[in-house]
Copies of this chain bind each other. A is one copy, B any other.
Amino acid sequence: MMNTQLTFPLMIQHTEKFFPKKQIISRTQKRTQTLTYDEYVRRTRSLASVLDRLGVEKGDRVGTIAWNHHRHLEAYFAIPSIGAILHTINLRLSREHLIHIINHAEDKVLLIDVDLLPLIEGIKDEIKTVEAFIVMTDDEELPYSGLAPLYSYEELLANGDESFSFREDLSEDDPAGLCYTSATTGKPKGVLYSHRGLYLHSIALALADTAGLSEQDVTMPVVPMFHANAWGIPFAATWLGSTQVLPGPAPTPQILAELIEEHKVTITAGVPTIWLGLLKELESGKYNLNSLRAVLCGGSAAPKGMIRTFEETHGIPFIHAYGMTETSPIVTAANLKSYQGDLPYEEKLELRSTQGRVVPGLEIKVINDQGEAKADGKDMGELLVRGPWIADSYYKDERSKDVFVDGWLHTGDVVTIDEEGYVKIVDRTKDLIKSGGEWISSVDLENALMAHPSVFEAAVVSVPHPKWQERPVACVVLKDADKGRVTKDDLLEFLEPQFAKWWLPDEVIFMEEIPKTSVGKFLKMALREQVRKELAL
């Protein structure tokens, strides 16, 4: 067989040749605009030429700090197609983490949404490697900024080369993307994606047994493009020629409902928090969303009641899926097998609210002290994954060896697997808190709290939350001398400069003692029970 390398230029050139008339609907700061793929690819080639002129070379990292819109999508293909690495930066990171990852990635160029400029201006003296800042905006004039050299994206593109050639010498094993993910302790860890991995992941999304993406679809990823590449949907949709709707900066449930209705979106994707918001919006009864064939939901577990409401009240099919930044991300999707179609709805819902079955192409294993867990839906173990779109290490990071062992990714998720292969998450080995689809590290908060002069010890656990799924609550034992003298507000004020606002605990419960295991580790399960009781949750 021919030695064809599975790379980004192959994907976008397919689109260029066969889907020039198809459209991208992009909501930006000022408007909602429509581009054809013909325009899109010409702009993408132009961006590639611009980056080339700015000195971006093969293997260089180019960072993006941006919402979901067409310019970000241009970067998605232009950067890997010249052999550089698309580093999508989570705009919700703390100042400290932003500085860390930009320096750790050694980004050479940053593409920044105009409304997000302050994030970077605030850290400009700390980031060492960036040689050019490019502002993505609908306005003709750039705002005043201390960043230098500062360029206008549109001005650069206007002077770019719309017929610039993508690289033809790329290997499928060359890196194409980089995304950092929060760690239980310490700084975020980088995941490097290869051309081959993202290519194969795109096909996986297109399998009928997964999400069945195709040219017939109108896709709208609500999951941010800075978060595991919006689950890879923009890559697959562009390649296959789907119509794409990109919902832009901080879309509200109303904006999402309007976009779905107006553009007849067939498949949308995001975390449960998004869908809770949309359900509330739908109560108004003023939308017709019957174009939707699937709401793809992952990031954290979707409550069964939510799936039921989508399907029974609104007639909108729901696909529950599971993955992580390290897995590109799709690992499992909760589709039924053909012979399960006749089960009663409640049984189907039960299966469909699990994390689902592993996608063809990947292997999984559930491991506990006794070896491989029984596939009986009860025996618990840690979920291990391997396959061609699974990371094999963290980017230049010593912590790799704890997670990637003997060729398997240890997900840190405790699951059961039933005899039909449906995986269900029961708990997390580590105690991360997942709020609105984003990770909060309990350990980081605990360490910060324990650095307070009046705190004897502190543990942070998650409590269920109707909107954000989980929120952190701090359990604090004060030093004897300070008991009764330090308040919740004192501690939150102490944490505030160190964390993003949404990381701060919703509650602080003062205790006499934190329950511990025999070896002195916090007994988090017992503590969670206690806290939930105390807060009447």
A interface list, Cβ under 8 A from B: 1-4, 6, 10-11, 13-14, 17-19, 21-22, 173, 192-194, 196-197, 203, 206-209, 212-216, 239-241, 243, 328, 337-339, 357-358, 360-361, 363, 386-392, 407, 409, 420-421
Contacts and interface: CB of A to CB of B under 8 A. Distances in A.
Give the interface SS of chain A, mostly helix, strand, loop or mixed.
Answer: loop
A118 to B, nearest CB: 35
Contacts of A339: 21-22
B389 A1 contact: yes
Contact of A240 (B203, B360, B409, B421): B360
Contacts of A13: 363
A9 to B, nearest CB: 10
A4 B240 contact: no
B215 A337 contact: yes
Given A18-B358, A212-B208, A2 B388 contact: yes
B203 A207 contact: yes
A17 B22 CA distance: 40
B212 A2 contact: no
Give the one of A21, A212, A215, A357 with max B CB within 10 A. Answer: A215
A208 B214 contact: yes
Contact of A421 (B1, B18, B243): B18
A420 to B, nearest CB: 8
A1 B208 contact: no
Contacts of A389: 1
Contacts of A11: 360
10 contacts: A1-B389, A4-B390, A6-B388, A11-B360, A14-B363, A206-B208, A208-B213, A208-B215, A215-B338, A243-B338
Contact of A4 (B207, B216, B387): B387
A391 B357 CA distance: 34
A209 B203 contact: no
Given A10-B361, A206-B207, A241-B337, 11 more contacts: A1-B192, A1-B392, A2-B387, A4-B388, A10-B363, A13-B363, A18-B421, A22-B337, A203-B361, A209-B215, A215-B338
B421 A193 contact: no
Nearest to A212: B208
Contacts of A390: 1-2, 4
Nearest to A328: B1
Give the one of A10, A173, A213 with max B CB within 10 A. Answer: A10
A339 B409 CA distance: 42
A167 to B, nearest CB: 16
Contact of A360 (B1, B239, B363, B407): B239
Contact of A357 (B6, B18, B173, B209): B18
Contacts of A420: 18
B197 A1 contact: yes
Contact of A391 (B2, B173, B192): B2
